[in-house]
Amino acid sequence: MCSNSRSDEQKCLFCNYERARHICENQYAYAIFDNFPVNRGHVLVIPKRHFESFFEASEEEITAIYSLIKEVKERVDWDYRPLGYNIGINIGKTAGQTIAHVHIHIIPRYEGDVDNPRGGIRNLKKALIEYNG
């Protein structure tokens, strides 16, 4: 089923995101700060083309997204000095995807932000569990 109609794009938050708020961008993707950050410096990397599932990305989009992720990391390293990162993607409503336009979470991690960091994405601080974004 194709969700890539013109009317989907007209309604889509990420198809209409204010360009002045882009942190950085390239031909196929852009990056913004998450409006409901789960940690300082939480960024979203978003393909410019409107599509819902990460599994639909083209090879050009994947390499552009990866390039932008690395650019974001350099910027966030400089500005926030995190000690690690979690990268996360939700695919489908059952997996928590609430906006039907692919977005990749880049979440910086800091010493002591959870009691025990083992478990990674499966063990983020309680605030993350209360997050509804």
- Report whether 50 contacts 8 (CB < 8 A): yes
Is 103 annotated as catalytic?
yes
The reply to whether 33 sits near its own copies by the rule CB under 8 A is no
31 vs 57, which CB is nearer to its own copies? 57
User: Residue from 29, 43, 68, 124 that binds its own copies (CB under 8 A)?
Assistant: 124
24 vs 88, which CB is nearer to its own copies? 88
10 vs 84, which CB is nearer to its own copies? 84
Distances (CA, A) of 11 to 14, 16, 94, 100, 120: 9, 8, 22, 10, 34
The reply to whether 78 sits near its own copies by the rule CB under 8 A is no
**Distance of alpha carbon 112 from alpha carbon 99, whole angstroms:** 30
- Name the nearest CA neighbour of 104 among 77, 66, 131, 50: 66
The reply to whether 46 sits near its own copies by the rule CB under 8 A is no
Residue recorded with tokens 């089923």: 1
What is the contact surface with its own copies in residues (CB under 8 A)?
38, 54-55, 57, 59, 62-63, 66, 69-70, 73, 82-98, 105, 109-111, 113, 117-124, 128-133
